[in-house]
Amino acid sequence: MPLRHRLLAALVAALWGVNFLAIHASLEQFPPFLLVAMRWTLIAIPTLLLVPRPEVPLRYLLGYGLGFGVLQFTFLYWAMDSGMPTGLASLVLQSSAPFTVLLGVLVTREKLTGARAFGVAVAVVGLAIVGSQRAGGATWWPFVLTLLGGMGWALGNIASRQAKPPKPLHLTLWMSVVPPIPMLALSLAVEGPDRIVDAFATSGDAWGAWVGLAYTVVLGTVVGSGIWTWLMARHPASTVAPFSMLVPVVGISAAWLALGERPNAVELAGSVVVVAGVLLTSGTRRRISGGRRRGRGRAVSAATPPPRQPASAGHPAVRPS
């Protein structure tokens, strides 16, 4: 992977990590379910007008949209609105990696290797360490909501993997067509018309919320996902995917600097364990072919590199934040 491509991958991780601050700013003005509807509507409209529909079965497009777009962000935004610290949210959402592996075993009958099983166990231990600091009082509920967001992302991963789109970016963009109507209906039912009207009526001076929403749509989703898809199309998933582990590092650091959120020592230790587990879970094993191949008078072992995968295959396909 050339240095320029590594820098691009690091840039995407930085964009996605800072995006949790943008979400926090938007939630200061807009209720969470309405904000999810707004986020995807702003992408869905130009997508319907300009982007051809991906050549995938409708059920997988709907599954991707419902899992990745509706469930993930409903629970994530709800969690952050309920008090989940911004930096820790960027970390706990990485639970989608072990969830994806487990769902792959249960739904698509994928083989669970010993290394990945160990990675899942390590990630779960790390999440338990972080969760132990949220067990008292009302702090446990936002933590559980964020875990459910990770589960939604994992469901979206399974649907996108099954879709096998010839143009992954088209699937990513068309996924945005699914969430707006159900999220607007949920916002009307739960948050109510009065709260929605009041959010818009008082948004004239809430420039930070609008800047945060613009960042999420343009930089966090379109630019970040576009670069990530481009990289995933040119390099093995096992080469690109580990860069997503920079997201919680950036997210926690940005929240520390901008919002004064300081995770305690136990939470930091749990964070390190989660990152290690996700790296083990997301790793791709290289298979060594049996026997030896001879070349130029000496024997050399033959290693089969992992195949290149589209952005929608495996984890992480597109970072949500």
78-94 pLDDT, tens digit per residue, is 999 999 999 999 999 98
User: Where does residue 292 rank: exposed (0-12), middle (13-18), buried (19+ CB within 10 A)?
Assistant: exposed
Average pLDDT of the residues in 101-130: 85
Average pLDDT of the residues in 265-278: 87
> Is the distance from CB of 252 to CB of 321 less than 8 angstroms?
no
Q: Which two tokens stand for residue 52?
A: 């051809």
Q: Which two tokens stand for residue 139?
A: 């702090």
What gap in Å lies between CA 56 and CA 18, rounded to an integer?
32
pLDDT at 304 over 90: no
pLDDT band (50, 70, 90) for residue 136: low
Per-position b or e across 42-58, b if 16+ CB within 10 A of its CB: bbbeebeeebeebebee
pLDDT band (50, 70, 90) for residue 238: low
pLDDT band (50, 70, 90) for residue 218: very high
Q: Mean pLDDT over all residues of the chain?
A: 84
Per-position b or e across 108-119, b if 16+ CB within 10 A of its CB: eebeeeeebbeb
What's the Cα-to-Cα distance from 267 to each of 85, 125, 134, 187, rounded to whole Å? 12, 12, 10, 33
Q: Which two tokens stand for residue 127?
A: 């999440």
What gap in Å lies between CA 178 and CA 188, rounded to an integer?
17
pLDDT band (50, 70, 90) for residue 320: low
State the pTM of this model. Answer: 0.83
Tell me the percentage of the chain whose pLDDT exceeds 70.
Answer: 86
